[in-house]
Structure 1
Amino acid sequence: MYEVAFEGFVLQCEITELVDVESNPGTWTSDWDAQGYRELEFRVVSGVLYDENDTPSDLGSNGCAKLAERYAEFIESELYRQIDAERENAA
């Protein structure tokens, strides 16, 4: 489970699928194989919005779904950042 926080929102996210193919410059079958690629699918399990007094409000499933759609690129990049940090710490 990963936590993504921004603009007063704190989301608990679950990665449902992760594909991380490293580059293989000797491969000519496709640019993706030669350069590598990453794909990530996630779902927001729960979320909270904190107001200016740090009072939490549950977002519910509809609120979480709307945020996941609206901020998908940001959430995905934050999840990649956390995944990469975990891998660096494990090495």
Structure 2
Amino acid sequence: MLVEYKSGPGSISSSTIKEQFIERDLFNANSLDQIQWSMEGTEMNKEKLVSWLMDNKDSIENLKYDRIKSFFPNDNFTYRFISKFNDESFYNSIFK
């Protein structure tokens, strides 16, 4: 179990997510069940996390597809690929 304790405002930032969550925890864990962050008074929320993950998407991409996919074994990536073609602009950009 990879456990991280954070306390107080400012204790979690975009660089914290990059260095400690993406580059350390996601790199070393075999499943998301092995990662736990205990936070008290950090003002951390889902929207901030998503924003910081977007800020650090290059680090996530460095994990490689197979590594990321291993965290979501029941996620059907093929279905998500196929469903992109429901977007008319996506479809029209290829099939003219």
**TM-score (norm. length: structure 2):** 0.27
Q: Which is richer in strand?
A: 1
**TM-score (norm. length: structure 1):** 0.28
Task: Answer 1 or 2: higher relative contact order, Cα 8 Å, separation at least 6.
Answer: 2
Q: Which is richer in helix?
A: 2
